[in-house]
Amino acid sequence: MIVHPKIPEKGVSAEELEKILRKIGDERYHVHHPFHKLMNAGDLTKAQLQAWALNRYCYQFIIPQKDAVILSRSEDPEFRREWRKRIIDHDGGEGDEGGIARWLKLAEGLEVDAELVKSRKQALAATRFAVQAYLDLVSQSSLLVAVASSLTEMFSGAAISVRVPAMLKRYEYITEDTLAYFIPRLHQAPRDAEFALAYVKEHAQTPALQQQVVDALVEKCDILWVMLDALYHAYVEPGHIPPGAFRPDLN
C-alpha cells in the first residue's frame, strides 16, 4: 500500500526531504502506470498512441502558461531569469521551434491530424480537468508549492531515456524525427529539476512547509496519473470511449 508521506512534527533535514520526494516519484510517477508500461513494451496500437499524443498535447499546451503564472508570482529577477528558460524551451525562439511544435510533430508522425490536436476538442474531459487542476495548483497556492509541483521533472529524464529507445525499437513506424520532442528534454528536465529541488530544499524551512511540498508533488503525480487512467480506460479497455472524445477509427 502506497502511503502519503507525513512530515514528523519536528520536521526533516533538507536531505531527508529530498529522499521523501524521490520515494514519491518511485511510487507515484506516471512512468509506473500500466499505460506507460504498455507503451515501452511495444504493446500499444497506433490508435492508442494517437490518443495519447492528442491528449498529452493539452498538457504540453498549458506548460508555458503554468510557468508564466510562476514567473508572475516571483519577486526575484534571478529566479525569473532561471524559470523563464522553461517558457523559451516550450514556445521556442530563433532557430528553435520549441517543445509544443515538436509535440505536434510527434502527433503528425503518428498520423493524427495536427489541426485536430491543436483544437483540443476531442481530448478526454478527464484530461481537461487534470490540466486545469495543474493550473489551479500553481495559481492558487504559494510560490513554494507551485515550484514543488514541477518536481516530477526529477524523474522524467530517466523515464525518457528508457522510453525513446524502447519506442524506436518496438514501433516500426516511429522514427527519431517523430520523437524529437524528447531529445532536448533529456538535458532540460534535469537542469530544471535541479534548480527547483534546490529552491524547495532552501525554502521549505518549517515542518508545515515541508508537508506542503510533499503534498504538492503527490498532487502533481495524481494529475499525471489521472490522465493515463483516463487514456487506459477509454482506449485500452474496449468500448469505453466517452461521448464526444477522439475516435481513432473515425479519424
Quote the least distance from Cβ 220 to a second copy, whole Å: 10
Burial of 217 (0-12, 13-18, 19+ CB in 10 A): buried
Q: List CB contacts of 251: < 8 A, sequence separation 6 or more.
A: 50, 112, 113, 116
* CA separation for the pair 70, 38 (Å, rounded): 34
Quote the least distance from Cβ 177 to a second copy, whole Å: 33
Q: Are 59 and 32 in contact (CB under 8 A)?
A: no
* CA separation for the pair 242, 191 (Å, rounded): 38
Identify which of residues 165 and 244 has a Cβ nearer to a second copy in the complex.
244
Identify which of residues 191 and 233 has a Cβ nearer to a second copy in the complex.
233
Quote the least distance from Cβ 39 to a second copy, whole Å: 16
Identify which of residues 75 and 250 has a Cβ nearer to a second copy in the complex.
250
Quote the least distance from Cβ 138 to a second copy, whole Å: 14
Identify which of residues 118 and 128 has a Cβ nearer to a second copy in the complex.
128
* CA separation for the pair 91, 76 (Å, rounded): 22
Kindly write down the DSSP assignment for every residue of 163-180, as one continuous string: HHHHHHHH-TT--TTTTT
* CA separation for the pair 100, 83 (Å, rounded): 17
Q: 93 pairs with which residues across the strands? A: 96
Identify which of residues 206 and 251 has a Cβ nearer to a second copy in the complex.
251
* Kind and range of the H or E run holding 213: helix 207-231
Quote the least distance from Cβ 44 to a second copy, whole Å: 16
Quote the least distance from Cβ 173 to a second copy, whole Å: 26
List residues near a second copy by CB under 8 A. 1-2, 4, 27-28, 34, 124-126, 128-130, 132-133, 136, 218-219, 221-223, 225-226, 229-230, 232-234, 237, 239-240, 242-244, 247, 250
Quote the least distance from Cβ 149 to a second copy, whole Å: 14
* CA separation for the pair 134, 100 (Å, rounded): 17
Identify which of residues 196 and 231 has a Cβ nearer to a second copy in the complex.
231
Identify which of residues 94 and 249 has a Cβ nearer to a second copy in the complex.
249
- For residue 164, the number of C-alpha atoms closer than 13 Å in the C-beta half-sphere is 17
